[in-house]
Amino acid sequence: MTLHHADHDADRPADEVDRLVAAWRQERPDLDVEPLQVLSRVSRLARHLDRARRASFAEHDLENWEFDVLTALRRAGEPYELSPGALLRATLVTSGTMTNRIDRLAAAGLVRRRPDPEDRRGVLVSLTDAGRIRVDNAFADLLRRERELLASLGKHEQQALSGLLRTLLVPFDATDTGAH
């Protein structure tokens, strides 16, 4: 099967998506398979990113969900603490799931709970020093791996791609209603 110039940039080697699109165009010329050009590549890239994330987190003895909770606390700034409700909003999980996650992270010594001084019924969850060190190291490692994934793009290409992806994602972010 030959790839036509319109199927891929002549200056770049064909990838698996080019082959997939060419095959579909041959088998189903009645369908517009153009969305595959973008979304199949996004899907394939997401799998590579997922592998990089899992490898980075495993190297630092963290699960994806642990990283999500710890980074939400870390991004909050000193004293690196949030209410369970704020953690729910940051990680898009249910209340019961978050309670379980906080329990497990506290048992591992990565977070601690303390009474909320402004709400006698509430608690605040904060990073321990061990949690901060673990998440900082995992995040630095993740960024290194992400830079490797993007190494074939220059800075301006990365910025252009970021802008295009943002345009695609904004409508979904605006309609996201909570826990998945």
pLDDT in tens, 2-42: 444 455 566 778 999 999 999 999 999 999 999 999 999 99
- Report yes or no on 37 lying in a domain: no
Find out whether 111 and 131 touch, Cβ atoms under 8 Å: yes
* CATH number assigned to the domain comprising residue 94: 1.10.10.10
- Report yes or no on 41 lying in a domain: no
Predicted local confidence at residue 91, as pLDDT: 86
Enclosing domain of residue 78: 47-167
- Report yes or no on 180 lying in a domain: no
Is the pTM value of this prediction over 0.85? no
Predicted local confidence at residue 97, as pLDDT: 92
- Report yes or no on 178 lying in a domain: no
- Report yes or no on 142 lying in a domain: yes
Other beta carbons less than 10 A from residue 142's beta carbon: 20
Q: Per residue in 48-78, pLDDT tens?
A: 999 999 999 999 999 999 999 999 999 999 9
Predicted local confidence at residue 180, as pLDDT: 39
